[in-house]
Chain A
Amino acid sequence: MIRFLLRRFATMAVTLVIISALVFFIIKLPPGDFLTNQIAELRAQGESASIAKAEFLIKQYGLDRPAWEQYLVWIGVMPGPNGFSGLLQGDWGWSFEYDKPVTEVLGDALWLTLLVNLAVVIFIHLVSIPIAIYSATRQYSLGDYIATFIGYIGLATPSFLLALILLYYANRWFDVSIGGLYDAKFAGQPWTWEKVRSLLSHLVVPTLVIGLGGTAAMIRRMRANLLDELGKQYYVTAKAKGLAPRTALLKYPFRMSLNPFIADIGNLLPHLISGSVLVSLVLSLPTVGPILLSALKSQDQFLAGFILMFVAVLTVVGMLISDLLLAWLDPRIRLGGRR
């Protein structure tokens, strides 16, 4: 187990290093950067005081150095103008657009993003497992057809369009705005019970919208897996021996069909996170999605870079968790690999 964990962590670290290089490369692709653009603008207006500040910031963050050095300083393996201070040291950089440290700009957004995605994953599992069991045990029944049909619609309707439609109908029929993650009056307030309750009630729509596609995919896969298992000998034997149908189902084939289910979290997560970024923009959720968009548009490199890294870490860690769960759930998977 320990060897497996170590190996898994090592691959994760390598993956993250490559991702960080990729992210930095992409962030640096557009010509110029926020500060040089700003300096050009200020120079056109003839403001010398602000130019001095911008030039100070360029020095401060080593933006005058070659790109590869900037990258190493950013992740924190090379001393910058003020010693080692990069992602590894917990210094997430400075947002030039907001003129604040990235930590302050993001604030609650980070854990709200985490919360939304967690809620979606839980929602998908809670909803798709019972439906899949139902439609697999009653194959070709009316309920099965309905579930399949809704599944197709769920797979094909892009989440942000669904969000737009819901936005319209919620406004028209119930006269409520479903945007945001809590009522507007709680913005900037300390966390109280009222605010948490408001948060929970606002979480319903985004969870549903983001999770629908994933739920549909899960139901389809789980149904197919369960159908495979239901035809196998051991299940027939278990039933022939007189085990109650429910016990026989839940104790053997159900457990078997769960394996690919958990292994699939890894495939699902990138899609969920993509979806949540997009839906956050439509429903104006205070998650990292809208901040990322504006940061990318204004070339606020450290802010955009950090958010991209955060999203990538979220998926990579999610995949690690799914691997560990799978190993724990299925004793047939040998952790050290075949040696």
Chain B
Amino acid sequence: MNKAALSKQHYVDPAPFDPGASEPVGSENESYYRASSWQLMWWKFRRHKVALAAAFILLGFYLLVPFVEVIAPYNQSQRNGDFLYAPPQRVHLMHEGKLVGPFVYPYEYRFDFDTFRRVYTVDTSKPQPIRFFCRGEGYDFWGLVPGDVHLFCPPTDGTLFILGTDRLGRDLLSRIIYGARISLTIGIVGIAVSFALGLFFGGLAGYLGGWVDHVIQRMIEILRSLPELPLWLALSAALPPNWSPVLVFFGITIILGLLDWPGLARAVRSKLLSLREEDFVKAAELMGASKQRIIARHLIPNFMSHLIASATLSIPSMILGETALSFLGLGLRPPVTSWGVLLNEAQNLAAVQLHPWLLFPIVPVVIIVLAFNFMGDGLRDAADPYH
């Protein structure tokens, strides 16, 4: 074997090697140095108390989503013809100085012929305890399995409108709970669409470069310079009116995702470009790693955390987009119930003035949006655990 061929070969010392021996790591630091980057991110995220609290709130809301039929005391479209626009019923614990447990006082109503409105009065003589884990209105769990068990139900022969009722006498609380299913999933499905598009176009631009990069860059610039709401409006007006609610749901999510990807694509592209120049990529190249290995083992895990963080930050804009579209009557349509559809009824001044409880769906929307923002901020800080 000649000298030139020998120098091309790797020389590996056969003696066993213990990295801890040459440069001892303190035992308290050992777990830190050996932790995977995901573990480091979790540790860093955990320190961000507000973000952690936001994450738990979101977890709570999302755990609710699969079980809305059980949690809601009424069905989403069940009408109580005797109780149109009933104001919220207060839940009491004490009746005449005695502890009865959670109960409500029944409503009595009469029709006021001067204002043509129903006037509800509370009858404080008869406490009606709320029932728990009870059999109530029948439903089809997930539209498949029939059931009738609820977490809590209205009293026997009584009503339980904790947040009041709407113009058809439907319980607002139950409708908000059912609305959570649509409003919360639309953000996730929408971001999935936008994530896929962003990864594809951003990856293409960053990987191929050249004229492809140029064209995609211009496309991103134009899309970002357009106000999104008018475009959302125009696109959702284009959904055929004879589509089924499920198709409309997917149509709306795709529309929301279609206009959201440029931000993510730009992040993917710039991350790809900057990571390619990093030392560890060069090191991997020098050690003879293949291109696929570099991309799969070194590049993608590195920018995935950033991507997840920025995706989290754009989920609220999806949820708000759906809310705004449905609020304007161009998004989801009844009988599908989302928070935006519920707010649609609170659109005019008269509704807001006479039945202010119809504005209540704003509360969960703001909570969710705030929580996603805080969690996204925490994730963004944690996404780079080595700095």
Among B230, B366, B370, residue most surrounded by chain A Cβ atoms (within 10 Å): B230
- A158 contacts B227, CB within 8 Å? no
- B235 contacts A29, CB within 8 Å? yes
Residues of chain B within 8 A of A297, CB atoms compared? 237, 329-330
Residue-by-residue, is A134-170 near B (CB-CB < 8 Å gives 1, otherwise 0)? 0000000000000000001101111011001101100
In B233-270, the 8 Å CB interface with A consists of: 233-235, 237-240
Q: Which residue of A lies closest to B50 (CB)?
A: A152
Asked if A179 is an interface residue, CB under 8 A from chain B, the answer is yes
Asked if A197 is an interface residue, CB under 8 A from chain B, the answer is no
Given the interface pairs A31-B240, A158-B320, A164-B359, the reply to whether A316 lies near B225 with Cβ below 8 Å is yes
Residue-by-residue, is B360-377 near A (CB-CB < 8 Å gives 1, otherwise 0)? 001001100110011000
- A315 contacts B227, CB within 8 Å? yes
- B362 contacts A296, CB within 8 Å? no
- B369 contacts A158, CB within 8 Å? yes
Among B324, B346, B359, residue most surrounded by chain A Cβ atoms (within 10 Å): B324
Residues of chain B within 8 A of A19, CB atoms compared? 222, 226
In A151-193, the 8 Å CB interface with B consists of: 152-153, 155-158, 160-161, 164-165, 167-168, 171-172, 177, 179
B170: min CB distance to chain A, Å: 20
B262: min CB distance to chain A, Å: 11
Q: Which of B227, B330, B373 contacts A311 (CB 8 A)?
A: B227
Residues of chain B within 8 A of A308, CB atoms compared? 230-231, 234
**How many A-B residue pairs lie within 8 Å, measured between CB atoms?**
118
- B229 contacts A278, CB within 8 Å? yes
Asked if B352 is an interface residue, CB under 8 A from chain A, the answer is yes
Asked if B128 is an interface residue, CB under 8 A from chain A, the answer is no
Given the interface pairs A29-B238, A160-B324, the reply to whether A296 lies near B233 with Cβ below 8 Å is yes
Residues of chain A within 8 A of B235, CB atoms compared? 26, 29
Q: Which residue of A lies closest to B323 (CB)?
A: A158
One of A46-54, A76-84, A266-274 at the interface: A266-274
Residue-by-residue, is B323-350 near A (CB-CB < 8 Å gives 1, otherwise 0)? 1100111100000000000010011010
Given the interface pairs A26-B235, A158-B320, the reply to whether A15 lies near B362 with Cβ below 8 Å is no
In B16-66, the 8 Å CB interface with A consists of: none
- A26 contacts B234, CB within 8 Å? yes
Q: Which residue of A lies closest to B234 (CB)?
A: A26
Asked if A30 is an interface residue, CB under 8 A from chain B, the answer is yes
B233: min CB distance to chain A, Å: 6
- B240 contacts A30, CB within 8 Å? yes
Residues of chain B within 8 A of A29, CB atoms compared? 235, 238
State in angstroms the CA–CA spacing of A158 and B323 once bound together.
10
State in angstroms the CA–CA spacing of A183 and B225 once bound together.
34
In A1-30, the 8 Å CB interface with B consists of: 15, 18-19, 22-23, 26-27, 29-30
State in angstroms the CA–CA spacing of A308 and B349 once bound together.
27
In A263-312, the 8 Å CB interface with B consists of: 266-267, 269-271, 273-275, 277-278, 281-282, 292-293, 296-297, 299, 304, 307-308, 311-312
State in angstroms the CA–CA spacing of A228 and B350 once bound together.
50
State in angstroms the CA–CA spacing of A15 and B220 once bound together.
11
A155: min CB distance to chain B, Å: 6
- A156 contacts B316, CB within 8 Å? yes
Asked if A319 is an interface residue, CB under 8 A from chain B, the answer is yes
Residue-by-residue, is A314-338 near B (CB-CB < 8 Å gives 1, otherwise 0)? 0110010000000000000000000
State in angstroms the CA–CA spacing of A153 and B373 once bound together.
10
Residues of chain A within 8 A of B327, CB atoms compared? 160
State in angstroms the CA–CA spacing of A271 and B231 once bound together.
12
- B222 contacts A277, CB within 8 Å? no
- B226 contacts A152, CB within 8 Å? no
- B226 contacts A278, CB within 8 Å? no
B126: min CB distance to chain A, Å: 32
- B373 contacts A167, CB within 8 Å? no
State in angstroms the CA–CA spacing of A308 and B316 once bound together.
25
Given the interface pairs A164-B362, A266-B225, A270-B224, the reply to whether A158 lies near B352 with Cβ below 8 Å is no
Residues of chain B within 8 A of A307, CB atoms compared? 230
State in angstroms the CA–CA spacing of A115 and B373 once bound together.
31
Q: Which of B234, B324, B329 contacts A158 (CB 8 A)?
A: B324
State in angstroms the CA–CA spacing of A251 and B230 once bound together.
41
Given the interface pairs A29-B235, A164-B359, A168-B353, the reply to whether A156 lies near B370 with Cβ below 8 Å is yes
Asked if B356 is an interface residue, CB under 8 A from chain A, the answer is yes
Asked if B228 is an interface residue, CB under 8 A from chain A, the answer is yes
Residues of chain A within 8 A of B230, CB atoms compared? 273-274, 277, 292, 307-308, 311
State in angstroms the CA–CA spacing of A274 and B373 once bound together.
20
Residues of chain A within 8 A of B320, CB atoms compared? 158
State in angstroms the CA–CA spacing of A316 and B347 once bound together.
31
Q: Which residue of B lies closest to A157 (CB)?
A: B366
Q: Which residue of A lies closest to B352 (CB)?
A: A168
Residues of chain A within 8 A of B228, CB atoms compared? 270, 274
Residues of chain A within 8 A of B347, CB atoms compared? 282
- B225 contacts A270, CB within 8 Å? yes
Residues of chain B within 8 A of A22, CB atoms compared? 222
- B352 contacts A281, CB within 8 Å? no
| 21 residue pairs bridging A and B, Cβ less than 8 Å apart | A15-B221, A15-B222, A30-B238, A153-B370, A156-B366, A164-B346, A164-B359, A177-B349, A270-B224, A273-B229, A274-B229, A277-B230, A278-B229, A293-B328, A296-B234, A296-B330, A308-B230, A308-B231, A311-B227, A312-B225, A312-B227
Q: Which residues of B contact A (CB under 8 A)?
A: 221-222, 224-231, 233-235, 237-240, 316, 320, 323-324, 327-330, 343, 346-347, 349, 352-353, 356, 359, 362, 365-366, 369-370, 373-374
Closest 10 CB pairs of A and B: A29-B238, A274-B229, A296-B237, A273-B227, A156-B370, A270-B227, A274-B227, A26-B234, A30-B238, A168-B352
In the complex, given contacts A19-B226, A160-B327, A277-B227, what are 18 additional A-B residue pairs having Cβ atoms less than 8 angstroms apart? A15-B225, A29-B235, A29-B238, A156-B369, A156-B370, A156-B373, A164-B359, A165-B359, A167-B352, A269-B227, A270-B224, A270-B225, A273-B229, A277-B233, A293-B328, A296-B234, A299-B237, A312-B225
